[in-house]
Structure 1
């Protein structure tokens, strides 16, 4: 049983690669954090800020009141 598990552990990295794949160097911890944590959070906050600014409540001016849109 232990021998078969050790053989599977040795073969498992080879199973996931496609034939002819030439993997490059791995990412550093800083690159991984930047690409998968900081960038998505930054994009989310930037898009949220733009949407909030464009859909925020508008100031009402006194001269543009209408009998259709307000009741006096």
Structure 2
């Protein structure tokens, strides 16, 4: 299963800042932006949520380190 709508819905209700990651073990496991978008949208979230999850929140996390 590529998506988990229940987790996405609960996280959004809790106003959690989501990011999308994988358990990549090789370069071929790394997701493209299009694959990430499909996963976010497949979990029932919006296009704007996809932009935030794949761009805004990761940058925010990195800048906080």
TM-score, normalised to structure 1, is 0.23
- Flag the structure with larger Rg: 1
TM-score, normalised to structure 2, is 0.25
